Amino acid sequence: MDLILCHTTADFDALGAAVGLTRLLPGSKIVLTGGSHPTVRDFLALHRDEYPLIERRSVNSEKIRSLTVVDTQQRDRLGKAAEWLDLPNLKEIIIYDHHLGQESDIPATRSHLASVGAATTLIVEELQQQEISLTSSEATVMALGIHVDTGSLTFDQSTPRDALALAWLMQQGASLSVISTYRDPGLSLQLQQLLTEALENLEYLCLHGYTLAWVTLKTDAFVPGLSSLASELVELTEIDALLLANEYSFGESDSRLTIIGRSQIPKTNLNQLFQLLGGGGHSQAASLNLRGVDSQAILKQLLDGVKAQIPHPPTARDLMSSPVRTILPETTIAEAQRILLRYGHSGLSVVDTQGKLVGIISRRDLDVALHHGFSHAPVKGYMTTNLKTIAPDTTLPQIESLMVTYDIGRLPVLENEQLVGLVTRTDVLRELHQERDEDEEGEKFKIQNDANAAVTKFKIPLSTELQNRLAPQLWKLLTTASQEAEKRGWHLYLVGGAVRDLLLAEAASGTLMIKDIDLVVDGFHKSADVGAGVELAKALQQLYPAARLEIHGAFQTAALLWHKDPELDSLWVDIATARTEFYPYPAANPEVEASSIRQDLYRRDFTINALALRLTTPRAGELLDFFGGLLDLQAKQIRVLHPNSFIEDPTRIYRGVRFAVRFGFQIEPQTEEFIRYAINSGVYDRTAQENSKTPALQTRLKTELKHILEAPYWKSALQLLDNLGALQCIHPTLKLDAELLRQLRLLERCLRRFDAEQTLIHWEMRLEALIAHLAPQYRAKVAKNLQLQEDSIKRLQNLTSAQTEVMESLPKCQSPSQVVQLLRQYNLPKLILIALQSPRSLRHQIWKYLTVWTNVQPLLNGNDLKKLGYKPGPQYRQILDDMLAATLDRVIKDKTEAEEFLAKHYPK
């Protein structure tokens, strides 16, 4: 006999999962181990005969072969049926559950556990895999299980897997009318009476902007359906968390206590609290049953636990953008519009000469004024002066209430009557709707856009996990930096590539020793000025004297560099003040201004590089993801932040390609369109003609080429750049055609064969090969534009004449010595470049020169000449050269013949 066990007081999820399992385990029977919820009981009163249910008392325990437990991992939730778990004749015990983070005391041989909204979902997925069809009644009860346990997909623990399971059950014929009847059947008369009593006796506490309520109800016996009563109380009173206690008697002297918990407060975990007392459930819904305890002491313990978990809500200081871009009342409409365009704002704050806020003007206000021809009018005639303002410590719920009540899109933050920040509707929405799902183990993950794809988890190094993911010495450095920032009242963030690499790193790969770290100081909510990053770097250098400090004042950044340090090796740490930037013209260096962390991330290139981890308390470990970078990491795509990003900075094309090839990502289609548009627009040619300095096409482009050409994936990167047409950034005529590909392959053979010790800089040789493929008149100009080394520029400048000489003279050489005489005037890099562009016959001779003839030495050396009586002098060189030529040409083959050659041609 194969039995499927539902927990006591079975709900629809337990029943639905059990019904589905009877199809996976043909011939199995369902046992309700101890009653059911009232609505389940009412449902079964009509539908019991449609499912293979049997009474516990009718089971012959000696015939039980296997037990499958659904929707629980605790034996005490199986009532008296728990005795069967210890039967010696059992062959298998299987568990299907969706309550993670619990220690099971059931000796299962197999467990199917997953963080989904309902246990029934796990069964549905197996039915789909085995292509098993259901009857309408089976599909209906299973759909009820998912609907009830996920609140019809509205509870936080709901997942796309639950939605897909429901969709499949509808295809199998689930009855929507039956589901609507039993999903929310209303309260029984007894529960209605208890609801009235509860409403009269509810006690409340407001903490950090959240309302917590609790009540104790005393009854003569157990009351089924208390969970429905708890849900009704939450809905009617709009409280954020509830603890509903029920004291009742079981017999004359046995007192019992049931507590139902509900929470809608982010980051609270009722399952964690209730487990400490033997209960459990989900993070937002849990329950426990105890006997013979002090009910008020237990209730107080749970209340204290919930209060300790309630997070302090974000305040305006956490949400605001700072500093705020301001203008004077006399600023013209046209100038205000130009400022909006430069900084990408949707509105501007207007202050008087004392810095006091007097109004706000929105983009729409400016558009209307411009439409009516008032471009030269001052903004004071169009700005809004009836302002609602907030203080830095105004909480998120208060901010949200103000915005909803007065339909305000932006709220100025005032401190001592001075404007210190601005909170926008976007800031509030972003905070409210950050889609981060968290399971009980603290893992956070995002679901891919394709709901059919497998769920991928990124283990974000939050709190103590950050320490576990980084090398200890690196963790110590970051901790020290965050402490120094906190001393000054600043926030410190780990940003960019380091965050990306932490998210991409496999958990099994051990700790990371990242070589290049970017830190950003955001201190404008307190007292920092534009030099905050530099000041922090100086403070760290005092604590780490082995580090070299470099300061770049124009960009408000500083760098700490270690070289072969015993602990930190060759580490580079950039520390910058949060800033925004503006490009005066395409390919220029940006103009930077101090700003906030949000604006600092907004100025970056790709979403996967616009992530930040906060290092300072009170929200250390918090991930800032304003642009969907986490989703793009999971989708393995490179997505640009701004449509004009590539027009402003063409090196971003090369960075995007580098990231795509390095990580095996795809360039997102819209981003690829932006790249092709920027290249085909001709903007780079125009800006190079109009401006003498275009760093993004010069030094910064060279840097990106270095990163690409020294990487193992450089060939794939060049091919992708060529496919995008991006090699035009080096020169409009450069293309990766078949001939250039052949030359690059030959170059690699040459470098491996002739420079195994890497005395040459290989990435520079690859770049020289690319430039050498251009028409001769362009080579030196491109090399100078990219600011290559002087010898590289000269080599490319003289390559044509050298190649011409070799091509004309080499075929005329009749002997090895003549070949050596011709080619030894060229160094190895130039000979390699000449060989790349020479016909096969000439390449063969150059190859033989490099592999054989350069290794031939004269059979006699200077010491030998001296012993033979030749006086040292200038003639030594001529003698040795002639002897080398004779050796190369096989005129002399040993020392005896060499001495004879010497006596004949250079008699004493």
The whole-number pLDDT of residue 397 equals 84
Count of alpha carbons within 13 Å of 281, Cβ hemisphere only?
A: 24
Residue 583: pLDDT band by 50, 70, 90 thresholds?
low
| Cβ burial, residue 806 (10 Å; 0-12/13-18/19+) | buried
Average confidence score pLDDT of the chain: 87
CA distance 42 to 36: 9
Lowest mean pLDDT segment, chosen from 11-25, 145-159, 413-427, 587-601: 587-601
| Residue of higher predicted confidence among 596 and 500 | 500
Verdict on whether the full-model pTM lies above 0.85 = no
Q: Is the dihedral of CA 820, 822, 826, 828 positive or negative?
A: negative
Mean pLDDT, residues 871-877 taken together = 81
The strand pairing partners of 849, in sequence order, are none
Do 521 and 578 form a contact (C-beta atoms < 8 A)? yes
The whole-number pLDDT of residue 441 equals 35
What count of residues does the chain have? 908
Packing angle, helices 762-772 and 776-785, rounded to 10:
140
The closest of 260, 14, 263 to 141, measured between CA atoms, is: 14
Any idea of the CA torsion for 529, 534, 538, 543, to the nearest 10 degrees? Answer: 100
Amino acid in position 606? F
pLDDT at residue 794 tops 50? yes
pLDDT at residue 440 tops 90? no
Residue 443: pLDDT band by 50, 70, 90 thresholds?
very low
The whole-number pLDDT of residue 906 equals 82
pLDDT at residue 732 tops 70? yes
pLDDT tens figures, 72-94: 998 888 989 999 999 998 999 99
The closest of 70, 77, 31 to 51, measured between CA atoms, is: 31
* Alpha helices, H only, 83-188: 119-129, 136-150, 160-171, 176-183
CA distance 388 to 758: 67
Mean pLDDT, residues 800-812 taken together = 93
Do 549 and 541 form a contact (C-beta atoms < 8 A)? yes
The strand pairing partners of 418, in sequence order, are 415
pLDDT at residue 343 tops 80? no
The whole-number pLDDT of residue 518 equals 93
pLDDT at residue 555 tops 70? no
Do 530 and 577 form a contact (C-beta atoms < 8 A)? yes
Q: Percentage of residues in the chain with pLDDT exceeding 70?
A: 91
pLDDT tens figures, 180-234: 888 876 777 888 899 989 999 999 998 887 899 999 999 988 888 888 899 889 9
The whole-number pLDDT of residue 718 equals 97
Do 299 and 245 form a contact (C-beta atoms < 8 A)? yes
The whole-number pLDDT of residue 589 equals 65
CA 808 vs CA 137, 799, 804, 818, 843: distances in Å: 91, 14, 6, 13, 13
* Residue 832: both structure tokens together: 């390699």
The strand pairing partners of 246, in sequence order, are 217, 258
Q: Is the dihedral of CA 143, 148, 154, 159 positive or negative?
A: negative
The whole-number pLDDT of residue 445 equals 34
The whole-number pLDDT of residue 434 equals 54
Query: If you search the block for the tokens 């275009």, which residue do you land on?
Result: 694
pLDDT tens figures, 488-539: 888 899 998 888 988 887 544 556 678 889 999 986 544 445 678 889 999 9
CA distance 591 to 600: 13
Collapse the DSSP code of 130 into the 3-class scheme (helix H, G, I; strand E, B; otherwise coil) and give the result.
coil
Residue 622: pLDDT band by 50, 70, 90 thresholds?
confident
Residue 467: pLDDT band by 50, 70, 90 thresholds?
low
Count of alpha carbons within 13 Å of 89, Cβ hemisphere only?
A: 9
Do 760 and 751 form a contact (C-beta atoms < 8 A)? yes
> Which strand ranges, in their side-by-side order, compose the sheet holding 241-249?
203-207, 210-218, 241-249, 255-263, 285-291, 280-281
The whole-number pLDDT of residue 465 equals 57
| Residue of higher predicted confidence among 620 and 714 | 714
Do 603 and 581 form a contact (C-beta atoms < 8 A)? yes
pLDDT at residue 595 tops 90? no
Do 660 and 608 form a contact (C-beta atoms < 8 A)? no
Tell me the Cα Rg of the chain: 38
pLDDT tens figures, 156-179: 789 999 999 999 999 999 999 899
The whole-number pLDDT of residue 444 equals 37
Mean pLDDT, residues 771-778 taken together = 95
The whole-number pLDDT of residue 438 equals 38
CA distance 236 to 234: 6
pLDDT at residue 569 tops 50? yes
pLDDT tens figures, 312-327: 778 888 788 777 889 9
Collapse the DSSP code of 819 into the 3-class scheme (helix H, G, I; strand E, B; otherwise coil) and give the result.
helix
CA distance 660 to 668: 10
* Residue 342: both structure tokens together: 């430069």
The whole-number pLDDT of residue 553 equals 67
Packing angle, helices 651-663 and 699-709, rounded to 10:
10
| Residue of higher predicted confidence among 725 and 323 | 725
User: Highest mean pLDDT range out of 304-318, 453-467, 679-693?
Assistant: 304-318
Do 528 and 548 form a contact (C-beta atoms < 8 A)? no
pLDDT at residue 693 tops 90? no
Packing angle, helices 828-836 and 840-851, rounded to 10:
160
* Residue 810: both structure tokens together: 């080499």
The closest of 269, 294, 266 to 279, measured between CA atoms, is: 269
Do 213 and 239 form a contact (C-beta atoms < 8 A)? yes
